[in-house]
Amino acid sequence: MNARLELGNGFQIRGAFSKSITPPEFGLTRNFYNLALSASQQDLNANGAPIARGTVGNPYLKPIEGTNIDLSAEYYWGNNGLNQLTLALFSKRLKGVLTNGTQRIPFTNNGATFDALVTTPVNSESTGKVRGLEVSYQQTYDFLPGFLSGFGLQATYTYVKSSGVEQSTLSETDPDVAAGNTANVDTGRLPLQGLSKHTVNITPFYEKGPLSVRLAYNWRSKFLLTTRDVIVPFAPIYNEATGQLDGSIFYTINKRIRVGVQGVNLTNEVTRTSQVLNNNLLTAPRSWFMNDRRFTGILRFNF
């Protein structure tokens, strides 16, 4: 449901309510067991003997349900329809987020009965919450004299806070999960995957006549990359705060031909990750990636 209230003089208020569903990955719903005998020191200490471990899908998994509320106040000015200032608030409640379930189940093979520790995905009984706000600004400075009238700016800031639910560390393909190699970190203390608390986008541009120039700087604070690494100690991994500057210059020769250059990662940003060590969310460095600067020459023809 969407509603809009126009207040005049370029002001308006929008409200939206929606419900959404996201089905689980198909591999997590498989209904067969894959058992493996574990003789790790951890299992020997806990059980006094080797024990079978395994994973099984859950064909009764329900979709993740989202209840979403959005409210924004917007102001538009000028005659070009591009100038705007917006403040948006949003709140999302997530029901049925996938997490881990563990059971001790007896199995019988050739007349011998033994226990197995079985891990399976389940829908969490807790409700996840995502709340935040976004401020956006866009304007072309066409009131300036001469060539300066081609300048403009786009900018957004987003704040997001997420909490309230344990998250799954299962993989539908990784055999280490079946071997019991899962992180000993309470994933309910982590933010939801992929969400930075702070995100900033700043894009100055110049559009006048045949010339088009654009720079875009995108920065985000650290965010949870995955709840479980694929190597020992199988810890949750954060992507540390990172920003990247991209740019492009295009020149229109005529209505059919346009040439330009695009540059990606102009500041040669290094991507850093860190691993979570304990439930106090203490982190330590894990890896560094250098993606290099990349430049592309472009020639476009319109027919």
Q: Residue 39 in contact with residue 50, Cβ under 8 Å?
A: yes
Asked, for residue 298, whether it belongs to a domain, the answer is no
The side-by-side arrangement of strands in the sheet containing 151-163 is 2-8, 11-22, 64-77, 83-95, 127-140, 151-163, 198-208, 211-220, 242-252, 257-264, 294-301
Q: Read off the pTM.
A: 0.78
pLDDT exceeds 70 at position 22: yes
Length of the chain: 303
pLDDT exceeds 90 at position 57: no
Six token digits for residue 186: 């309470």
Question: Measuring CA to CA, how many Å separate 209 from each of 82, 204, 275, 289?
Answer: 18, 17, 50, 40
Q: Residue 103's domain is classified under what CATH number?
A: 2.40.170.20
pLDDT exceeds 90 at position 86: yes
Contacts of 292 (CB under 8 A, 6+ apart): 265, 268
Confidence tier at 5 by pLDDT (50, 70, 90): very high
Per-residue pLDDT tens for 148-199? 999 999 999 999 998 767 776 665 455 555 455 566 677 778 888 888 999 9
- Give the structural domain span for 34: 2-219
pLDDT exceeds 80 at position 55: no
Provide the pLDDT for residue 60: 87
Asked, for residue 88, whether it belongs to a domain, the answer is yes
Asked, for residue 232, whether it belongs to a domain, the answer is no
Asked, for residue 239, whether it belongs to a domain, the answer is no
Confidence tier at 108 by pLDDT (50, 70, 90): confident
Per-residue pLDDT tens for 222-252? 999 888 887 777 788 999 999 999 999 999 9
Asked, for residue 13, whether it belongs to a domain, the answer is yes
| Total domains present in the chain | 1
Confidence tier at 280 by pLDDT (50, 70, 90): confident
Asked, for residue 79, whether it belongs to a domain, the answer is yes
pLDDT averaged over every residue in the chain: 85
Asked, for residue 63, whether it belongs to a domain, the answer is yes
Provide the pLDDT for residue 293: 93
Provide the pLDDT for residue 41: 58
